[in-house]
């Protein structure tokens, strides 16, 4: 649906102008004429207001005219997404960030002129300016989603993104601490200051929890069965962090803790609840690593990232907080834990997700599995030519019948018999 100007005339002795527009009814295909009134002192102002009117009608009517730019359309699409209330606030915040990247490169391009070469050049420009392929892929996917909506709303005839590909994404190597480094980190964490940071590092290193999940833990999530109940997370929306449901149903899980870790956290929990009770807050359920007050506030994930970065820099570790999750996963796989169990620990919806991420991160586990394969055969699997070569000088075991001797063995046995005869 496109609006076309059919006339612009001023009403006598007034600042009011009559705008005559026409558009094609998408249902019947017939031309429809509409009349609108605008106010302007000069013809130049009237023309500008007429053009603005056309643009607003096209945007509100989900239609595209020759003057609508990618920026105008993305603003319209984002407004629809926001009003739908069908996506998480943290996802919406990410969409706004990606939309800004789109507008930076394509904002002034008219939507009707958006083509395959234009999109391919956009991707090439992002990569040449230093954006990683993974970073360039995100705005591409958002634009593809927006243009898919445009096709469905009969705004454009086809989606040019369907015929383009974002830069090929290289798989990022998993950065996991080896046994020596993770042991050293755990020892340092138990002496870390602030002490709360040490508790969080120990929990993340021994359970694989995400940063938002750790910060969202409450006192009631520490169970008497020496386990943690993960049932919420913190999301990062336009107004800051907020509490939300876990990423998937499988993210709601119960994780066992070692006796020492549970004892430390249980002592922290008791101190917290006792302190709050002294202030008359007996029914409180504060955040386990948050503030000790009536309206407990969680440990800020951004602050946690900065404090952990400082901890690593001070102690010579080269990793991020999320790498603790990778470390836990590789540690479990390396010890022979089956993928289904590792997926349950991590809260992955499907074991295939775990396999896709960690398929090649534990070579020592593959080497250990070779031993199991060798045990399935009654042959020497390490022999270069199959069976080991017989020792020509080895005597046959006594009492064994039906053996076949080599010439060398027979000569050796004959020489030994002659020596004995001479000795007698």
Residue with tokens 């496109």: 2
Task: Supply φ then ψ for residue 51, to 5 degrees.
Answer: -65, -40
Measured between alpha carbons, how far is 214 from 207 in angstroms, rounded to an integer? 10
Q: Which CATH number fits domain 179-346: 1.10.443.10, 1.20.140.10, 3.30.700.30, 3.40.50.2300?
A: 1.10.443.10
DSSP 398: T
Cβ proximity of 311 and 204 under 8 Å: no
Could you write out the DSSP letters of every residue in 222-285?
Answer: EETTTEEEE--EEEEETTEEEEE--SSGGG-EEEE--HHHHHHHHHHHHHHHHHHHHTT-TT--
Q: Could you state, in order of their start, the residue ranges of all structural domains in the chain? A: 4-60, 70-163, 179-346, 390-424
Cβ proximity of 147 and 164 under 8 Å: no
Identical topology for domains 70-163 and 179-346: no
How high is the pLDDT of residue 70?
Answer: 92
- Burial of residue 49, with CB atoms counted within 10 A of its CB: 0-12 exposed, 13-18 middle, 19 or more buried: middle
Instruction: For residue 140, give the nearest of 121, 117, 166 by alpha carbon.
Output: 166
How high is the pLDDT of residue 259?
Answer: 92
How high is the pLDDT of residue 13?
Answer: 87
How high is the pLDDT of residue 331?
Answer: 87
Residue 71 in this model has a pLDDT that exceeds 60: yes
Measured between alpha carbons, how far is 326 from 153 in angstroms, rounded to an integer? 43
pTM, rounded to two decimals: 0.64
Query: How many other CB atoms are there within 10 angstroms of residue 16's CB atom?
Result: 13
Cβ proximity of 58 and 72 under 8 Å: no
Residue 295 in this model has a pLDDT that exceeds 90: no
Residue 396 in this model has a pLDDT that exceeds 70: no
Q: What average pLDDT score do residues 103-115 get?
A: 91
Measured between alpha carbons, how far is 303 from 284 in angstroms, rounded to an integer? 24
Q: What average pLDDT score do residues 137-151 get?
A: 93
Query: How many other CB atoms are there within 10 angstroms of residue 67's CB atom?
Result: 14
Query: How many other CB atoms are there within 10 angstroms of residue 326's CB atom?
Result: 21
Highest CATH level, class, for 70-163: mainly alpha
Terminal-to-terminal C-alpha distance of the chain: 121
How high is the pLDDT of residue 63?
Answer: 45
Residue 393 in this model has a pLDDT that exceeds 60: no
| Strand order from edge to edge, sheet including 31-39 | 4-10, 16-24, 31-39
Residue 294 in this model has a pLDDT that exceeds 90: no
Query: How many other CB atoms are there within 10 angstroms of residue 331's CB atom?
Result: 20
396-402's contacts with Cβ under 8 Å and 24+ in sequence apart are: none
């Amino acid at each position: 649906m496109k609006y076309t100007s059919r006339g612009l005339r001023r009403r006598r002795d007034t600042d009011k102008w009559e705008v005559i527009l026409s558009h094609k009814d998408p249902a019947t295909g017939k031309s429809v004429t509409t009349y609108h009134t605008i106010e302007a002192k000069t013809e130049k102002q009237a023309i500008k207001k007429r053009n603005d009117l056309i643009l607003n009608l096209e945007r509100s009517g989900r239609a595209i005219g020759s003057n609508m730019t990618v920026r105008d359309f993305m603003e319209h699409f984002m407004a629809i997404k926001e009003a739908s209330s069908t996506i998480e606030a943290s996802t919406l915040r990410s969409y706004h960030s990606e939309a800004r990247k789109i507008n930076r490169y394509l904002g002034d391009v008219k939507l009707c002129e958006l083509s395959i070469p234009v999109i391919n050049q956009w991707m090439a420009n992002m990569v040449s300016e230093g954006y990683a392929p993974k970073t360039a892929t995100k705005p591409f996917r958002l634009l593809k989603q927006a243009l898919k909506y445009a096709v469905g709303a009969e705004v454009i005839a086809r989606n040019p993104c369907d015929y383009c590909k974002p830069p090929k994404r290289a798989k990022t190597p998993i950065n996991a601490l080896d046994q020596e480094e993770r042991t050293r980190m755990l020892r340092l964490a138990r002496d870390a200051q602030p002490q709360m940071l040490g508790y969080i590092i120990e929990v993340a290193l021994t359970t694989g929890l995400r940063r938002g999940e750790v910060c969202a833990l409450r006192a009631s999530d520490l169970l008497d069965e020496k386990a943690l109940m993960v049932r919420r997370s913190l999301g990062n929306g336009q107004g800051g962090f907020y509490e939300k449901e876990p990423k998937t149903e499988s993210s709601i899980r119960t994780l066992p803790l070692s006796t020492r870790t549970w004892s430390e956290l249980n002592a922290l929990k008791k101190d917290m609840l006792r302190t709050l009770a002294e202030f008359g807050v007996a029914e409180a359920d504060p955040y386990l690593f948050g503030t000790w007050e009536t309206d407990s506030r969680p440990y800020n994930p951004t602050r946690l990232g900065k404090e952990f970065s400082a901890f690593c820099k001070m102690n010579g570790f080269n990793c991020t907080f999320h790498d603790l999750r990778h470390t836990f996963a590789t540690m479990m796989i390396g010890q022979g834990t089956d993928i289904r169990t590792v997926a349950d620990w991590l809260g992955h919806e499907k074991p295939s997700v775990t396999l896709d991420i960690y398929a090649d991160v534990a070579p020592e586990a593959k080497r250990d599995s070779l031993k199991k394969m060798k045990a399935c055969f009654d042959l020497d699997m390490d022999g270069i030519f199959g069976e080991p070569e017989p020792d020509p000088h080895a005597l046959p075991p006594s009492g064994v019948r039906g053996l076949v001797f080599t010439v060398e063995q027979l000569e050796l046995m004959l020489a030994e018999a002659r020596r004995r005869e001479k000795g007698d």
